[in-house]
Amino acid sequence: MNMYDYWFDASGGAHEISKMDTFYIRNCLNQLMKMLDVWSGIIPEQLTKEEMKQKDEVGMKAWFVLHGISYIDAFCQELDRRKDS
């Protein structure tokens, strides 16, 4: 297992993605896609020191730059697994 097998919500609660409700996964994925629209193309080296202080806060710019794409991939893979089942 890796960290992207779990979704950590804004309250810090951990949820195993494979056990999450499909509606919740889609909701999370929709939110991540909105962030992608805003922050796509930004690399970690472009983040300011102030932004990096928020790297562990779900939904913040630094968090998304460091983890967003991996979570998008994890959610899409889980939805694909469910579709194929």
**pTM of the predicted protein model:** 0.92
At a CB cut-off of 8 Å and minimum separation 6, what does 19 contact? none
The whole-number pLDDT of residue 14 equals 93
At 2-23, the pLDDT tens digits run 889 999 988 889 999 999 999 9
Q: How many domains does the chain have?
A: 1
Over pLDDT 90: what percentage of the chain?
88
Q: What is the pLDDT of residues 47-64, one digit of tens each?
A: 999 999 999 999 999 999
Structural domain containing residue 9: 3-84
CA distance readout (Å), 18 to 5, 29, 83: 7, 14, 13
